[in-house]
Homo-oligomer: A and B are copies of this chain.
């Protein structure tokens, strides 16, 4: 049973360009690099990027709409993770990004782990 719409090659290139455009924003590119290693929740990114919570949510919505990330609600938190197993062009770009530890150090942030289940000092 075919549930996907049929896309021709031009449509595919258009979708590829759209996905790549989403990577072409410094904030989102770093988000995706961080997501290489583990899932993060919205409030983590609010702390790391110093962007308002709605700002972060909107970035995640864009990434989700193009199936680049997936979300999972657990309790009051929503965790985001990469969904690029079928997107080698995105994997290839992220392969050239530093790991979480280096990124956080560059941004003068510590891994706060703000949304861990046992953490009472969460956002």
Contacts and interface: CB of A to CB of B under 8 A. Distances in A.
Contacts of A10: 106-107
Interface in A8-30: 8-10, 13-14, 16-18, 20-26, 29-30
Interface size class of A (residues with CB under 8 A): 20 to 34
Contact of A26 (B9, B17, B22, B33): B17
**Which 6 A-B pairs have CB atoms at the shortest separation, nearest pair first?**
A21-B24, A92-B92, A17-B26, A20-B24, A24-B24, A89-B96
A14 B24 CA distance: 9
Interface of A: 8-10, 13-14, 16-18, 20-26, 29-30, 33, 88-89, 92-93, 95-98, 102-103, 106-107
B98 A88 contact: no
Contacts of A16: 29, 96-97
